[in-house]
Amino acid sequence: MLDKETNQLLTAVDQGTPMGELLRRYWWPVAATAELEERPTKPIRVLGEDLVLYKDLCGNYGLLDRHCPHRGADLAYGYVEDCGLRCNYHGWLFEQSGRCLEQPYQDIALPHSRMKASIRIKAHTVVARAGLLWAYLGPAPDPLLPDWEQFTWPNGFVQIVFATLPCNWLQCQENSIDPVHFEWTHDNWSMRLRGAQGPYSPRHLKVAFEEFEYGMIYRRIREGQDESNQLWTVGRVCLWPNGILASNHFQWRVPIDDVNTLCVHWFYTRVPKGREPYRQARIPYWVAEVTDASTGRLIDSHVTNQDFVAFIGQGEIADRTRENLDQGDEGIVMMRKRFLDDLKVIASGRDPKAVIRDADKNRCIRLPLIGREEVVEGVDPEELKRRIPGSTVAGVGMDDFPWLAGQPAAVKVEFEQAMGWR
């Protein structure tokens, strides 16, 4: 249980708040690169800042203040030039560093004016990696964007899925260090949703938590398992400060503001053995459904949607003054303590946990991964069909993407073609 001030301290993300400043020390995935191929500007809100993301005609990415410093027009309606983004109101042109390159009428009327040199629009760094655009909103110098090993894997089909949730990001991230919920939120609830009354799934007998360089690890033993199981020997990674690594995907929880979160999922599926080499022409993205429009209820049929029900159910900002933590919540306590400690670390001018600045270290960073060999090396085609319920083969699991609701048919087709099922 936390007091009111600490709960507020941990959940407020605007610039100038302690957590807002801490979270600004990290890179955040904010959009798919494919989105800017369709339309070169995109308004985004991240960490309480209204911004516009763009890709100019030379291929440079920029992330600027949403509003023009001239008289405030919305730059999401601006148009991109060879270099930079031009306001659609009076044509001021800005480049990715935030410099104003042109003030068209002023440049004619007062050619010697020094006004242009004094104009700067707020600008953040944005880089493309693994089909995503990553933003850094913190103080210079920018740290390195983590080069996770997954981003270098060949022969895989990657898809990016977004979901926007009406709640604070931290309650989503706390789920990354919450082993026991698997039993109840996924296994048992799914069984009950199917109309069965039992049996309930194997119970958790033991959980353990520890920190490592890039986050935290939790381990579990359930009935019927022992300490030789990878769920115990390898464990699951809670990625610092904003994600989780499950077997075949990352999920990052990106604060839009204090009461909204963008969940960004990056799924990698290795093509079956024998289908190499496979090269994906374009990484598709889609937006998951969260609410069932016909009933107004949250969708509960897909694994990650089940998590969303839990997060949203905790309220806009989970009231941690009323909680009663039990033994399964040791990791949550550890996470909060690390955040609070890191607020002191940045106040003393040092880097917080998992900020990477050493380029030699930042090469293909290998994270602990349960089932590594199969995820990386692939399995036989028939085995893959059995394991991945995304198959249309009759009788194999649910005829749908199992993690999130709303996968477009076109993405499903691309996926099945990649797997050799069509």
Which residues are at the interface with Fe ion (CB under 5 A)?
Answer: 307
**Closer to Fe ion by Cβ: residue 155 or 185:** 185
**Closer to ligand FES by Cβ: residue 52 or 130:** 52
Binding interface with ligand FES (CB under 6 A): 68, 70-73, 87, 89-92
**Closer to ligand FES by Cβ: residue 91 or 368:** 91
Q: Tell me whether residue 4 is exposed, middle or buried, using C-beta atoms within 10 angstroms of its C-beta: 0 to 12, 13 to 18, 19 or more.
A: exposed
d(CA 279, CA 417): 12
Least distance (Å) from ligand FES to the CB of residue 75?
8
Least distance (Å) from Fe ion to the CB of residue 306?
6
**Closer to Fe ion by Cβ: residue 177 or 375:** 177
The closest of 366, 416, 415, 409 to 158, measured between CA atoms, is 415
Instruction: Return the residue nearest Fe ion (CB atom).
Output: 307
d(CA 252, CA 26): 12
51 binds, among ligand FES, Fe ion, none (CB under 5 to 8 A by kind): none
d(CA 251, CA 241): 12
71 binds, among Fe ion, ligand FES, none (CB under 5 to 8 A by kind): ligand FES
Q: What are phi and psi of 31, to 5 degrees?
A: -165, 170
**Closer to ligand FES by Cβ: residue 102 or 149:** 102
**Closer to ligand FES by Cβ: residue 108 or 140:** 108
Q: What are phi and psi of 85, to 5 degrees?
A: -120, 130
70 binds, among ligand FES, Fe ion, none (CB under 5 to 8 A by kind): ligand FES
Least distance (Å) from ligand FES to the CB of residue 89?
4
87 binds, among Fe ion, ligand FES, none (CB under 5 to 8 A by kind): ligand FES
Report in angstroms the alpha-carbon separations of 320 from 120, 126, 278, 324: 41, 34, 47, 9
DSSP secondary structure letter of residue 200: P
- Tokens 């649910």 correspond to 398
Helices (H), 198-301: 230-233
63 binds, among ligand FES, Fe ion, none (CB under 5 to 8 A by kind): none
Least distance (Å) from Fe ion to the CB of residue 186?
6
CB-CB contact of 403 with 249 (8 Å) = yes
Torsion sign over Cα 382, 386, 392, 393? positive
153 binds, among Fe ion, ligand FES, none (CB under 5 to 8 A by kind): none
The residues, ordered by sequence, that sit 6+ positions from 112 with a Cβ below 8 Å of its Cβ are: none
Least distance (Å) from Fe ion to the CB of residue 189?
10
**Closer to Fe ion by Cβ: residue 174 or 307:** 307
Least distance (Å) from ligand FES to the CB of residue 399?
50
d(CA 396, CA 393): 6
- Tokens 């990484």 correspond to 283
307 binds, among Fe ion, ligand FES, none (CB under 5 to 8 A by kind): Fe ion
Least distance (Å) from Fe ion to the CB of residue 176?
9
